[in-house]
Each structure stands twice: as structure tokens, then as C-alpha cells.
Chain A
């Protein structure tokens, strides 16, 4: 009896959250699945819809442009997260040493993290400006570049320049997580290894890295999930251009649904993105279950 009542109370306490989540996430997700099999248009979506089964999906997967967008997103996610992990761990190792100004430097890491994504994107867009940007001026004044370049206007460099802006904002997250993990590694482990003649490189691979691997892998998956959603920074810096060279899947869905008003096929693109994200999210779930209770 008592345990039955307790179960009822437990669910009652959850009710407000469940109702809200069903309303703002559950229902929309199901409706997106429905849209994806119709030819719904943004103008009066309920009036013009007609059932087309998997036609949208087939068209999406056979579209060279969409495959290109998937490739850009993958490239963005792999390179930016990869570089963020490497720089993040290096910075964490640095901040784990004792030196004057360490606390200040650690506090400075908060700055890029706290800067709104849109402000970060706008700041780098100004820095990269082809006519009056600081990057061109700096490189030319130091003689490292002959003439001003249009960093975001050149399909060959645009996506990489966006990645630099993203890395600058997000490497501190990896650094702070890695630093917190490093501080749990017992110091005597290093002393013992040094006495046994292990060099710096060896100590890193044998002691440090295994010890911080758990939190680091969680950071890796979290960042990858985020990177796959990338939209804000692209919208502000390049709007997918030049020549679609920075068009990522989120931007593609945005354009299909809100510029071309094709809600049906936009929904099918969105769900393909969800499917890719779902694999990453499943990886994250696996990691947090492995490392303890959520």
C-alpha cells in the first residue's frame, strides 16, 4: 500500500515536467516525423499537405547538395572538436603546473565560454573582414602576407576560418574538464613513475591520459553532439556561403523550410540529422551509464 502510494506521489511530482516536455518536445518531434512524409508547405501547412511516404527521404539522400552539407558538418565537427580536445588537454596540463598567474589564467578561460555564440561569431567576422579586418592588417604589417585576403569569401578557406572561431570559443570547456580530472590524479603516482625512470612522454601516455580518459571521452561526445547542431556561428559569419562551402545540415534545413517554405522535405532533412545525432547521443548515454549513475 505504502509503496504504491509512494509511486503515485513520485509520478505526481514529475507531472509538470512531463506535461511541459511532451508539449514542447514530444509532440513536435512526432509531428516532424509526420511532416517528413508529406509535401507540407510553410504557408498553411495543414491545407496543402499530401501524403508522399518516403519520397522526401529518397530525394534527400540522393541530393548531392544535401550530401555535401552532411560532409561539411562532419568536417566541421571532426576538425573543430579534434583541435579543441588537443588544445584543451595541453592547456589543462599547463594549468596543472605551479606558476605565478595561474589563477588569473584559469579565470580568463571563462571569457570565451561566457561570450554569447553570436557575439563570438560577429567578433571573428570583423577580425576576418577583407578590407579593414585585424587579421589581414596584422599579417601584412608583419610581412607574413603580401596582400589582403577575403578569408570568409574564399570557398577554400571559409569553413576553416569558421572552425578557428569555434575552437577559440570552445577549447576552454575541454580544458576546464580535463583540468578538474587532472587534479584527481594522485601526485605520488608520478613520483613513483619518475623513480622507475619513466620519461615525460611515457608518464603522459601511461598515467595522465588513462586517468583523465573518462571525463575526456564525455567531453568529446558532448562537444561532438553540439558541433553537429552548428547553426548560429554559420548564420552570422557566412550564411552558408561562399558557394555553399560552409553550408551545414542545420543551415540546410533552415533554408529548405524557411527560405523555400518546403516544410515536408525540410522535416525529412531534419530527421536525418536527428538520426546522426541519435547515434552520438546513444554514445553519450553509454558513457554516463558506464561512469556511474546519471
Chain B
């Protein structure tokens, strides 16, 4: 009995430590975001503002020209648009490809699938120079279009792979039956596979949006003003700015983190089972 009590205490101590390690940095980011910049630069540092303020959020979210709110709100708009468009484009190409990989296997197509996965894992520095020169030659730098196309190099292999492993779990008879009755493959995908695979499709969409929202490297190189700068680039700009307003930077970070964090909690189950199956089955 003594050992189980000791074990219980150990477990709760470890759990408390883990909770603190995860929560404290984010909590501090939040506290900074509701503090005034004078409060944050007072020494010795105080851990709670005497007068919490939403001023930082206000100055980011209420539009005014030539202020941080302008670049911030444009960046949010650009990121939403680019993430959704790149996701839509990738999913449209990924669905038939995943179906083909899953239902009509062949040795050459199998090697192609491995090649697609390998491409997904390539470091972006391997592709960025020609992509940059081509976009520059076509006059597409600093446009949404350039990033939408380039993000497909990340989202498309990922979505294809995720959908393929889900289609594998759907019994083959289900879509073979309508095909014997004379339906074509696209009809089988649309009327049979997609309704069953709706949860996986949702997961693929959300994960793709998360990947696109998080992307920084291409965004940094292919954009240079508010017309197409993404939220990650805007945050990096703020963090490197000459005027170091820590409260404002923190508020921008919190706001940029809200959409992905909500998405991720919302799809927690899918995320975890996806991670698990991805690592077990490949």
C-alpha cells in the first residue's frame, strides 16, 4: 500500500509539472498581450499588470491606415484566402489520385506513391530557387496566386497520402457494385466513397489549412508588402521591428494562434488517431 501511495504522489507531481511546463509560456504570452508596453519594460518585472488592458488587441483589430492594424488585418485576410484556395486546389487533385492509389494498385503506381511521399519531405530549399525565378519571370511575385500554387507542393502530397490510407479502410465491394452496374469511376468516388469518407475528408481539409497557415519560408521569400504578406511573415516582421512593443507583438501572436488552436482542439480525436495510424501504417 505504501508503494502505491508513493506512486500516486509521483504521478500527480509529474502531471502538475507537465501542466506548468505547457501552460506557463503561453500564459505569459497572454499576460504580455494584456499589458501596456511601459508595464512590460519596468524593472523588476511584475508578473501581473496592475491595469490589464485590451489596448493591444484594439490597435491590431481596428483598421487604420499606416498602423500595425493595417498590415496585420491584411495579413490575416491574405492567409485565410491563400490557405483556403491552396487547400481546395490540393484536395480536388488529391481525391481522384488517392482513389487510384487505393483501388487500382499497380507496381508502378506504388513506386509513384513513395515518390510523392518523398517529395513531401524534401527540404523547401531544394525547390525554392527555380520557383522564385519562374514566379519572378512571370511577374507573379507578391501575388496570392504564387503562394497558392507553391503551397500545393506541400499540401497535395500530404492530402493524397492521408486520403489514400483512409480509402483503404473502406470495403472494396461498396464502390465495385455501382461500377458493375455501369457507373464510371468519378461517379463511384462522388456518390459512394466521399459520403463514407467525409470525416477523413474533413481531417484532410483541416490539416491542410493548418499546414498552409503555419507556412513561413515561401511566404517570406515570395511576398513583400501588405497585398500578399501572410500572417507568419507579418508576425516575423513585428518581432524584428525597430519599435519593440512587446505587448503588441504578443497580442498579434495570440491572435494568429487562435484559429489553428481552435481547429486543432476541435479535431483532437482525428488528429491523434491520424498521428497514430500515420506512424503505425505509414
Question: What string of 1s and 0s marks CB contacts (under 8 Å) between B84-113 and chain A?
Answer: 000001001110110111001010011011
Size bracket, chain A contacts: 35 or more
Separation of A129 and B188 alpha carbons in the complex (Å): 58
Instruction: Indicate which residue in B127, B268, B272 contacts A28 across the interface (CB closer than 8 Å).
Output: B127
Instruction: Please encode chain B, from 3 to 22, with 1 for each CB lying within 8 Å of some chain A CB and 0 for all others.
Output: 00000100110110011011
Given contacts A29-B122, A218-B282, A273-B125, contact A110 B271 (CB under 8 A): yes
Contact indicator B126/A225 (Cβ below 8 Å):
no
Closest to B118 in A: A281
Interface presence of B235 (CB below 8 A): yes
- List chain B residues, Cβ under 8 A from A161: none
- Closest Cβ of chain B to A18, distance in Å, is 8
A residues with a Cβ closer than 8 A to B are 6-7, 9-11, 13-14, 16-18, 20-21, 23-29, 31-32, 35, 42, 45-46, 91, 94, 97, 99, 101-102, 105, 107-119, 121-127, 129, 131-132, 134, 137, 140-141, 168, 172-173, 176-177, 180-181, 214-215, 218-219, 222, 225, 228-229, 231-232, 235-236, 249-250, 253-254, 257-258, 263, 266-267, 269-271, 273-274, 277-278, 281, 284-285, 287-289, 291-294
State the main secondary structure of chain B at its contact with A.
helix
Are the CB atoms of B150 and A24 closer together than 8 Å? yes
- Stretch in contact with the other chain, from B58-66, B195-203, B214-222: B214-222
Q: Is the CB of B127 within 8 A of A25?
A: yes
Contact partner of B156 (CB less than 8 A), chosen from A17, A28, A116, A292, is A17
**CB proximity of A224 to chain B, nearest CB, Å:** 11
Bound CA span A249–B126, Å: 12
Smallest Cβ-Cβ distance to A258: which chain B residue: B221
Of B28, B128, B235, B273, which contacts A122 at CB under 8 A?
B235
Is B220 in contact with A24, judged by CB distance below 8 angstroms?
no
Q: A14-B96, A29-B122, A124-B25 are in contact. Are A21 and B256 (CB under 8 A)?
A: no
In this assembly, does B174 line the interface, its C-beta being within 8 Å of a C-beta of chain A?
A: no
Chain B residue numbers with a CB within 8 Å of A137 are 44-45
Known: A32-B127, A285-B114. A108 touches B22 (CB 8 A): yes
A9 to B100, CA, bound (A): 8
A236 and B123 form a contact (CB under 8 A) = no
B residues contacting A by CB (< 8 A) are: 8, 11-12, 14-15, 18-19, 21-23, 25-26, 28-29, 32, 40-41, 43-45, 89, 92-94, 96-97, 99-101, 104, 106, 109-110, 112-114, 116-119, 121-134, 137, 149-150, 152-153, 156-157, 160-161, 164-165, 168, 185, 210, 213-214, 216-217, 220-221, 231-232, 235-236, 238-240, 246, 249-250, 253, 256-257, 260-261, 263-265, 268, 271-273, 275-276, 278-282
Expressed in whole angstroms, the Cα–Cα distance for A11 and B18 within the complex equals 50
B263 CB to closest chain A CB, in angstroms?
A: 7
Separation in Å of the A102 CB from the closest CB of chain B? 8
Taking a contact as CB atoms closer than 8 A, the residue among A91, A114, A277 that contacts B261 in the complex is: A114
- A24 contacts B185, C-beta separation under 8 Å: no
The answer to whether A228 and B25 touch (CB under 8 A), given A94-B14, A116-B257, A177-B275, is no
Q: Which of B28, B110, B124 contacts A134 (CB 8 A)?
A: B28
- CA–CA, A291 and B281, complex, Å: 6
Contact B210 A111 (CB under 8 A): no
Which residue of chain A has its CB nearest to the CB of B46? A137
The distance in angstroms between the C-alpha atoms of A110 and B232, with both chains bound, is 20
B64 to chain A, nearest CB (A): 23
